[in-house]
Structure 1
Amino acid sequence: MVKYQHAYEKLLDITSKENVLVDEHIRNHTYTRLGGRADLFVTPTSYDEVQDIVKLANKVDVPFTLLGNGSNLIVRDGGIRGIVLSLKKLDTISREGHRIVAQSGAAIIDASRRALDEHLSGLEFACGIPGTVGGALFMNAGAYGGEIKDCLEYAKVVDPNGDLLKLAPEDLDLEYRSSNIPDKGYIVLEAGFKLEPGEYEDIKAVMDDLTYKRESKQPLEFPSCGSVFKRPPGYFAGKLIQDSELQGKGVGGAEVSTKHAGFIVNKENCTATDYISVIEMVQKTVKEKFGVSLEREVKILGEDLEEKK
Structure 2
Amino acid sequence: MDLQIDQKFVDEIRSRMEPSCVLLNEPMREHTTFHIGGPADVLIFPTSMEDVSFVFQCLKKHGIPFVILGNGSNVLVLDKGIRGAVIKFNSLFSAIEKKGNILKAGAGALLSDIAKFAAEKGLSGMEFACGIPGSIGGAVFMNAGAYDGEMKQVVSLVRAISPEGKTVHFAADHLEFGYRHSIFQENGCAICEVELTLVPGAVQDIEEKMAGFTKRRESKQPLEMPSAGSTFKRPEGYYAGTLIEQTGLKGFTVGGAQISEKHAGFVVNTGSATAADVLELIRQVQQCVFDKHQVKLFPEVRVLGEKD
- Assess same fold via TM > 0.5: yes
What amino acid is the match of 2:252?
Answer: K
How far residue 283 of structure 1 moved from its aligned partner, in angstroms, is 0.9
Task: State whether structure 2 residue 174 is matched by structure 1 residue 178.
Answer: no
From 96, 104, 127, give the equivalent of 2:107: 104
Q: Which residue of 38, 44, 53 corresponds with 2:46?
A: 44
Give the Cα separation in 2 of the matches to 1:82 and 1:241.
36
Stretches (4+) displaced over 6 A: none
The residue correspondences of 1:67-106 to structure 2 (distance < 5 A) are 67-88=69-90, 89-106=92-109
Calculate percent identity across the aligned residue pairs.
42
Contact kept, 8 Å, 1:108 with 1:131, in 2: the verdict is yes
Aligned 8 A contact 1:140 1:147 in 2: yes
For 2:15, what is the secondary structure of its paired residue? helix
Q: Which moved more, 1:175-184 or 1:214-223?
A: 175-184
TM-score of the pair, normalised by structure 1: 0.97
Deviation at 1:13, TM superposition (A): 2.2
- Structure 2 residue aligned with 1:192, among 185, 190, 195? 195
1:4 to partner: Cα distance: 2.0
2:26 aligns to what? 24
| Structure 1 residue corresponding to 2:14, chosen from 12, 15, 35 | 12
Question: How many pairs are equivalent?
Answer: 305
| 8 A contact 1:154–1:169 mirrored in 2 | yes
Indicate conservation of the 8 Å contact 2:69/2:138, yes or no. Answer: no
Give the counterpart letter for 2:246 in structure 1: D
Distance 1:278 1:133 in 2: 29
Aligned partner of 2:59 in structure 1 is 57
Residue of structure 1 equivalent to 2:248: 245
Partner in structure 1 of residue 207 of structure 2: 204
Equivalent residue for 2:164, pick from 150, 161, 172: 161
Cα displacement (A) at 1:171: 0.8
What is the SS of the residue equivalent to 1:273?
Answer: helix
TM-score (norm 2): 0.97
- 1:227 matched to 2:227? The reply is no
- 1:298 has 2:301 as partner: yes
In the alignment, structure 1 segments of 5+ residues that lack a partner are none
Q: CA deviation at 1:144?
A: 0.3
Structure 1 position 14, deviation (Å): 2.8
Tell me, in whole angstroms, the C-alpha distance in 2 between the residues paired with 1:32 and 1:251: 15
C-alpha distance in 1 between matches for 2:271 and 2:43: 26
Structure 2: give runs of 5+ residues left out of the alignment. Answer: none
8 A Cα contact 1:23 1:37, kept in partner: yes
Paired position in structure 1 for 2:36: 34
SS at match of 1:83: strand
Whether 1:268 aligns to 2:271 is yes
SS at match of 1:6: helix
RMSD over equivalenced CA pairs, Å: 1.0
Partner of 1:140: 143
Confirm whether residue 281 of structure 1 aligns to residue 297 of structure 2.
no
Aligned-pair CA distance for 1:46: 0.9
1:130 matched to 2:133: yes
Letter in 2 for 1:47: M
User: Partner of 2:220 in structure 1?
Assistant: 217
CA displacement at 1:67 relative to structure 2: 1.8
For 1:41-99, what per-residue CA distance to the aligned partner results, in whole angstroms no more than 9, with x for missing partners? Answer: 11111100101101110111112111221100000000001111111121111111111
